Amino acid sequence: MNDLLKNVTAASLFKKLEAREVSAEELARAYLDRAETLKRLNAYVHLDADRILDQARAIDADRAAGKPLGPLAGVPVAIKDLLCVEKEPTTCGSRMLKDFRPPYDATVIKKLREAGAVLFGKTNMDEFAMGSSTETSFHGPTLNPWDETRIPGGSSGGSAAAVAADLAPVSLGSDTGGSIRQPAAVCGIVGLKPTYGRVSRFGLIAFASSLDQIGPFAHDLTDAALLLQAISGRDENDATSVDRPVPDYVASLDRKPDSLRIGVAREFFGEGLDPEVEAAVREAIRVYEKAGATIKDVSLPHTRYGIPAYYVVAPAECSSNLARYDGTIFGHRALDWSPKHPGEEELHPLVRMMMASRAEGFGAEVKRRIMLGTFALSAGYADQYYNQALKVRRLIRDDFDAAFKDVDVILGPTSPTPAFKLGERSKDLLAMYLSDVYTTTANLAGIPGLSVPCGLTKSGLPIGLQLLAPAFAEESLLRIARVFERETDWHLKRPELS
Ligand code: GLN
């Protein structure tokens, strides 16, 4: 490994860039070389070396000219392949969008450019962000850098693997039911899902609009705060983004938390929790106790309904969001739409074109979700499924509101197990869906959640600790997580890659 990239963070690289110890171009070249060496991990689905080097050189020129630069000037940031970057392929892990080049930047991308970041590769993901393993991608699976026979988590598996393998210092992902926190946990890095409305979703290809949020992956909390700071804030292009001041997450990070009351929800330690994961999380509780925290038992009684409610709400919204991919304006268009089944010859050719395009363009998991969602919303069934799920969603939110009256954060495991083997859960969908038992409730309630590394199993697989906080309490969430980071060195561990 190039020494330039050893044990670095975005903040440490920024210092070196400012001190002119390295140029943005040299740095970009080093990461491009490493991406080439570690191609087998399949973390990147698109890397435009010329464009990346041009951007890096432009930042070097600005720096040399003494122009005012943003807080990420020259730092490469990897981007999940569902965030629109002007004129670059944005495939969403799907054949449906394999030729899509957006004519505009997502707001978070615009903000990264303003901060001076070098937009690095587009990272692999589950198709349309539906999955927990990055195995449903049209580009094939991403491998976990800690054990290449295992999944990197999902759906933002490429973004997590890229940071874990030092293919980029930081990256962006999106989290609808756990897609930032779960891959962060199983790849041994930090992942933060902000409060719904903290970050603009404009230019994020929608999966489930009432749950989706964009957030950072990083090696430590300083970098996570740096990135969150850069992407947060009200955006007139996203009516659900909230007009609240963005605190200085970086400056406040090392201030002692105003209050350190930690809730331990008994529902997060149930059936299916791997004993090594449980032991690491219990050890984290002891770390907090020693650091002076008050530990309280809390209850989130509706947690067990999180997965069923999520798997109605998310597919319902996806069935509507994905209706636009029909081969007319958006997405893959089939060349052959001749009738294939009895009765189809009576359909209008346009309808057959749409049917054939959707049949070819979407993979099995996406089709399953569209069918589930369409059914859950259909006349006669909406009351039984969709409206029922919305009621459960309300109860889950009420659980959190009640619990947060007594505590500042709620602690538990991020994922019930460490990274599983590639292929292990692809045929057992319930097992796959249960990867998100501890993460979906935060999306349903709209609150922020953070995963930080808290251990390694005997066989060397990372374990993540999840901390949840009330809406818009990212600042205190980060400061409370920092207490743990300072007491431990799990965030310094990196996989050995040859
Ligand atoms: N794994 C969950 C799902 O399959 C969550 C995905 C996500 O957060 N995008 O829907």
Predicted local distance difference test score (pLDDT) of residue 1: 80
Catalytic residue among 23, 80, 111, 132: 80
Helix/strand/coil for 350: helix
Per-position DSSP letters for 238-256, written without gaps between them:
BTTS-------HHHHTTSP
Cα separation, 224 vs 66, in Å, equals 27
Catalytic residue among 132, 159, 171, 179: 179
Q: Is 206 in the pocket of ligand 1 (CB under 6 A)?
A: no
Catalytic residue among 23, 94, 133, 155: 155
Q: Is 317 in the pocket of ligand 1 (CB under 6 A)?
A: no
Q: Is 449 in the pocket of ligand 1 (CB under 6 A)?
A: no
Predicted local distance difference test score (pLDDT) of residue 2: 85
Q: What's the full length of the chain, in residues?
A: 498
Supply the residue whose CA is at minimum distance from atom 5 of ligand 1. Answer: 177
Supply the residue whose CA is at minimum distance from atom 4 of ligand 1. Answer: 131
Q: What residues pair up with 455 in beta bridges, in sequence order?
A: 463
Helix/strand/coil for 330: strand
The verdict on whether omega for the bond into residue 200 sits within 30 degrees of 0, i.e. cis, is no
Ligand 1 atom at minimal distance to the Cα of residue 314: 10
**Please, what's the b/e burial string for 29-68 (b: 16 or more CB within 10 A of its CB; e: otherwise)?**
bbbbebbeebeebbbbbbbbeeebbebbeebbebbeeeee
Q: Is 80 a catalytic residue?
A: yes
- 131 Cα–ligand 1 center, Å: 5
pLDDT digits (tens, 9 = 90+) for 334-389: 999 999 899 999 999 999 999 999 999 999 999 999 999 999 999 888 889 999 99
Mutate to test the pocket of ligand 1, among 94, 123, 126 (most ligand atoms within 8 A of CB): 126
Predicted local distance difference test score (pLDDT) of residue 271: 87
- 412 Cα–ligand 1 center, Å: 19
Ligand 1 atom at minimal distance to the Cα of residue 131: 4
Q: Is 200 in the pocket of ligand 1 (CB under 6 A)?
A: no
Residue 142 CA neighbour count, 13 Å, CB half:
39
Q: Is 222 in the pocket of ligand 1 (CB under 6 A)?
A: no
Predicted local distance difference test score (pLDDT) of residue 394: 98
Predicted local distance difference test score (pLDDT) of residue 63: 98
Crossing angle of helices 306-321 and 364-377, rounded to 10°: 100
Cα separation, 250 vs 482, in Å, equals 11
Contact of 188 with 493, CB cutoff 8 Å: yes
- 314 Cα–ligand 1 center, Å: 9
Q: Is 177 in the pocket of ligand 1 (CB under 6 A)?
A: yes
Residue 444 CA neighbour count, 13 Å, CB half:
32
Predicted local distance difference test score (pLDDT) of residue 498: 81
Whether this prediction's pTM lies above 0.75 is answered by yes
Q: Which two tokens stand for residue 141?
A: 């699976």
- 378 Cα–ligand 1 center, Å: 23
Q: Is 129 in the pocket of ligand 1 (CB under 6 A)?
A: yes
Cα separation, 106 vs 119, in Å, equals 12
Ligand 1 atom at minimal distance to the Cα of residue 311: 10
pLDDT digits (tens, 9 = 90+) for 454-480: 999 999 999 999 999 999 999 999 999
Q: Is 427 a catalytic residue?
A: no
- 126 Cα–ligand 1 center, Å: 9
Strand order in the sheet with 449-456: 44-46, 118-123, 76-80, 170-175, 213-218, 190-193, 449-456, 462-468, 409-413, 261-265, 294-298
Q: Is 207 in the pocket of ligand 1 (CB under 6 A)?
A: yes
Q: Could you list the mean pLDDT of each consecutive 10-residue stretch along the chain, which spans 498 residues?
A: 92 98 98 98 98 98 97 98 97 97 98 98 98 98 98 98 98 98 98 98 98 98 98 98 97 96 96 96 98 98 96 97 94 94 94 96 98 94 93 98 98 98 92 94 98 98 98 98 98 94
Amino acid residing at 55: Q
Q: Is 179 a catalytic residue?
A: yes
Q: Is 134 in the pocket of ligand 1 (CB under 6 A)?
A: no
Cα separation, 192 vs 418, in Å, equals 18
- 310 Cα–ligand 1 center, Å: 9
